[in-house]
Amino acid sequence: MMWLSGGFIFRRGTSVYHRLDPRAKLLVSVLMFATTLLVRSLYELAGVLAFMIAVSAVAMVLKRVARTMLFTAGFSVVIFVLNFVFTRNLETSLLYAARFVAIVVSTSLFFITTSPDELEQVMKTFRLPRDVVFAFVTAVRFIPVMFLDTIQIMDAQKSRGLELEKGNVLKRVRNMIPILIPLVVNSVVRSGELAEAMESRAYGAVPKPTSLVVYRTRTTDKLVAVAAVVLFVLTAYSFYFVFPAQIL
Amino acid sequence: MIEFRDVSYVHQNGVKALDGVSLRIGSAEIVAIVGENGAGKTTLVKHVTGLLKPATGDVVVDGQDTRKTSTAALSRKVGVAFQNPDHQLFSESVEEEMSFALKNFGFAPELVEQRVRWGLELFGLEEYRKSSPLVLSGGEKKRLTLACILAWDPEVVILDEPTVGQDSIQKEKLAGTIRMLTSSGKTVVLVSHDIEFLWPMQPRVVVMKGGKILGDGPAPELMQDKRILEAARVAQPQLVEFGECLRERPEVPFADPLEARRWVEKSSR
């Protein structure tokens, strides 16, 4: 589980992609996300996924993206089965299942290469309310903590004879109760404690607190942003005007 | 009872948590595992119940290789009370929390009731029997987790930081319970930074640092080895330190450390 979770958690890196302005990385991810919604055939989607894999290679996070894909594969199977049951169309069902993987990879690429601090700065750029930014960034920051908590809770319950992998589906779901309750309770308690700790350190005392980081967009960031927009426009154009017959 | 044979373990982040650890723990022993944070103490005890499997080497518990035995089967023999009680409490009432493992191990209902009553009495938790475990104080939660482990009467009891959040009276009670356990033939493994709690029990001490065992021996001997203790960043028990101070001052005419302490304080004024 911890191995799979690595596909969603930020780790410091030294690649060119890691060093990009977080706003440029966000733009690339948003455009990749949008492109996955525009595709209408498995061929087009394969092209988009190949592009994402190329970006992952540049960012030197190929293995972690592979974990993301593996993690989402389970959900994709459910999407495929549900679509196939209701549409009886193999290609559409496959497309929706693969599209889900592509959507997750596009967002995952942003989160695994962008630190919570950078994320905070990006959100501030969009002038979002400070409380919203803080809540969102804190939630992201606590994802690894939650995973660690889950592992420790599972260890504690397994040491009391709980066998998570035993029994039928219903029993396995019931076996998750001793994991989920402590996890939820811990999270609620932690959020309360964090709120108190923040308030005791003057959170919200002034409307505009001091910001120590000022992002300046470099030429590389501008080039990447422009290239991403041009590529998106060209791809969208080719989807609708060059190969219009592939509409499903 | 428990044997580590040249065990190594590497965490997913590449950190070598155990590095060629060989250790043998016999029946009815009290073993204290000490060392700084990140020394590998918790990783070591997680190998005993098979929660972690060694990358190299073997861990054998009561003749069973932990690689080939499930955690549930090993847990029947080895009870581990983890550091943070909030990581295991989930039931609606204290008695249900206590009976969770007993039911998992298939105990008869009468025995479950008997063991729950015994555990609650032992740790002074009878009045909370019907309360939610989540509303207990930190110290009470810690005691409940210990009671939960002792309830199924495992052969080996591993307590990870058992004194955290406990007042001095509860610590004394805990020390008494540990002595009771060893006198009834149980093996007790204590992972703790609380040297003052460990010292009076005179356990066998295993000192760890960087996933290796730096020292292994009886407390009176090992706690005087400043070289090992300093390397592992483990504080000497105050009484040992005080005894050393006394040895440096032969003019002190007292054998009793407390009386001597008063004398030293008075004479240095």
B69, B60 Cβ separation under 8 angstroms? no
Reference B194, options B160, B218, B225; nearest CA is: B160
Residue A182 to residue B88, Cβ atoms within 8 A = yes
B58, B65 Cβ separation under 8 angstroms? yes
Q: What is the mean pLDDT of residues A114-119?
A: 86
Q: So what's the pLDDT on residue B57? A: 95
Q: Which of residues 238-257 of B touch A (CB under 8 A)?
A: none
Reported confidence tier of residue B36, pLDDT bands at 50, 70, 90: very high
Does this model's pTM top 0.80? My answer is no
Indicate the residue type of A98: A
Residue B180 reports pLDDT greater than 60: yes
Residue A53, chain B, CB below 8 Å: the answer is no
Residue bearing tokens 């060989």: B22
What pLDDT digit, counting tens, does each position of A8-57 carry?
678 888 899 999 999 999 999 999 999 999 988 888 899 999 999 999 99
Residue B18 gets the label, from left (phi > 0), alpha (psi -120 to 50) or beta, of beta
Q: Choosing among B52, B86, B150, which should be mutated to test the A contact, i.e. which has the most A CBs within 10 A?
A: B86
Residue bearing tokens 């960034």: A137
Residue B87 to residue A152, Cβ atoms within 8 A = yes
ipTM of the assembly?
Answer: 0.71
Q: Burial, B166: exposed, middle or buried (Cβ in 10 Å; 0-12, 13-18, 19+)?
A: buried
Task: Give the Cα separation of A88 and B94 in Å (integer).
Answer: 52
Q: So what's the pLDDT on residue A9? A: 77
In chain B, where the domains are located: 2-219
Task: Give the Cα separation of A68 and A107 in Å (integer).
Answer: 10
Measured at the CA of B123, the angle between CA B120 and CA B127, to 5 degrees, comes to: 50
Which segment of A23-27, A40-44, A98-102, A180-184 scores lowest on mean pLDDT?
Answer: A40-44
A49, A102 Cβ separation under 8 angstroms? yes
Reference A164, options A153, A175, A155, A149; nearest CA is: A175
Residue B46, chain A, CB below 8 Å: the answer is yes
Task: Enter the tokens of residue A162.
Answer: 């709980």
Q: What is the mean pLDDT of residues B174-201?
A: 90
Q: So what's the pLDDT on residue A227? A: 94
Q: Burial, B252: exposed, middle or buried (Cβ in 10 Å; 0-12, 13-18, 19+)?
A: middle
Facing B134 at nearest CB: one of A153, A161, A185: A185
CATH entry, B2-219, from 3.30.1330.10, 3.40.50.300, 3.30.70.1060, 3.40.50.2000: 3.40.50.300
In our burial notation (b when 16+ CB lie closer than 10 A, e otherwise), range A106-121 reads: bebbbbbbbbbebbbb
Q: What is the mean pLDDT of residues B1-23?
A: 91
Chain A and chain B share a number of CB contacts under 8 A equal to 67
Q: What is the mean pLDDT of residues A114-141?
A: 86
Facing A155 at nearest CB: one of B46, B101, B104: B46
Residues of B with CB below 8 A from A186's CB? 86-87
Residue A34: half-sphere exposure toward Cβ, Cα within 13 Å? 13
Residue B232, chain A, CB below 8 Å: the answer is no
Residue B51 to residue A2, Cβ atoms within 8 A = no
Residue A159 to residue B105, Cβ atoms within 8 A = no
Residue B94 reports pLDDT greater than 70: yes
Task: Give the Cα separation of B112 and B195 in Å (integer).
Answer: 35
What mean pLDDT value characterizes chain B? 88
Q: What is the mean pLDDT of residues B146-166?
A: 90
What pLDDT digit, counting tens, does each position of B210-246 carry?
999 999 999 888 888 889 999 999 988 888 887 777 7
Residue B71 to residue A178, Cβ atoms within 8 A = no
Residue A248 reports pLDDT greater than 50: no
Residues of A with CB below 8 A from B101's CB? 160-161
Could you tell me which residues come within 8 angstroms of residue A151 by beta carbon, excluding any fewer than 6 positions away?
A1, A2
Give the CA distances from residue A9 to residues A107, A142, A187, B112, B184, in Å, rounded to whole numbers and listed in that order: 12, 10, 18, 43, 48
Percent share of chain A, pLDDT over 70: 94
Facing A161 at nearest CB: one of B84, B89, B105: B105
What pLDDT digit, counting tens, does each position of A200-235 carry?
787 877 878 777 777 778 899 999 999 999 999 999
Residue A133 reports pLDDT greater than 80: yes
Task: Give the Cα separation of B162 and B201 in Å (integer).
Answer: 14
Residues of A with CB below 8 A from B80's CB? 156, 159
Task: Enter the tokens of residue A137.
Answer: 């960034």
Could you tell me which residues come within 8 angstroms of residue B145 by beta carbon, excluding any fewer than 6 positions away?
B81, B82, B85, B88, B89
